[in-house]
Amino acid sequence: MGTVTLGVSIVVPEPWGAMLQQRRAGFGDAAAYGIPTHVTLLPPTEVAAGELPRVEEHLARIAALGVPFPMRLCGTDTFRPLTPVVFVKVVEGAASCSWLQRMVRDAAGPLARELEFPYHPHVTVAHGISEEAMDQAYDSLADFEAGWAVGGFALYEQGADAVWRLQREFRFGGERLTRPAAGVPSQAKPETAASAG
């Protein structure tokens, strides 16, 4: 039956999501339009395609336990020199993100996995580009701010074209939204996506 590559994230809503995606592309990050602007709860994870129903049940159970929480982004930081990433900081909501990601990766569930680095919620705005462009991203978004109430999270699948596409949204309190129309990526422009790092 094969495998699929899944990710779970909190999507940054409009108008900030599209704005940060456009800025990321403007810095020269070729992956920008293949990755909706987000805070990761589960990094790219390969699972058996037959496990998808179990994955969705697992995420629905987590969402049923969740309650909306405030999220605030402010300013920039970087993981350099450890990894070539510049990001917008999560200054409110980090504890809730940490709880969610632990639940998603629970050892008893279908998405159990270890992380390469300790979990640090953030919104990537530049990845794997020139140092000069990374510096530009760091400086030009230093005054960025956004805030909203997080009402749930989403399951994404990475296609063969490296574009991440929305599969399901899970709202806190147990409401599961319907699957989007087939072949319609969320906040993605496949024609410009080169990778999904």
Stretch 76-102: mean pLDDT: 96
197 assigned to some structural domain: no
Per-residue model confidence as pLDDT tens digits over 105-136: 999 999 999 999 999 999 999 999 999 999 99
165 assigned to some structural domain: yes
88 assigned to some structural domain: yes
Cβ(6)–Cβ(47) under 8 Å? yes
**Residue 196 predicted with pLDDT over 60:** no
Rounded mean pLDDT of the chain?
89
**Residue 197 predicted with pLDDT over 70:** no
172 assigned to some structural domain: yes
34 assigned to some structural domain: yes
The parent domain of residue 179 ranges over 3-192
| pLDDT score for 174 | 53
| pLDDT score for 62 | 96
SS3 state at 193: coil
| pLDDT score for 187 | 36
Q: Quote the CA–CA distance of 181 and 59 in Å, as a whole number.
A: 21
Q: How far apart are the first and last CA of the chain?
A: 25
115 assigned to some structural domain: yes
SS3 state at 158: strand
Name the token pair of 94. 């980090």
168 assigned to some structural domain: yes
DSSP letter at 177 equals P
Task: Give me the number of domains the chain comprises.
Answer: 1
Burial of 82 (0-12, 13-18, 19+ CB in 10 A): exposed
Distances (CA, A) of 25 to 11, 20, 32: 17, 9, 5
By DSSP bridging, strand 152-158 and strand 164-171 are antiparallel
**Residue 159's domain is classified under what CATH number?**
3.90.1140.10
Backbone angles phi, psi at 161, to 5 degrees: -85, 10
| pLDDT score for 69 | 96
pTM: 0.86
Query: Of all residues in the chain, what percent carry a pLDDT higher than 90?
Result: 86
User: Facing residues of 90 across strands?
Assistant: 73
**Nearest CA among 62, 18, 64, 4 for reference residue 186:** 18
25 assigned to some structural domain: yes
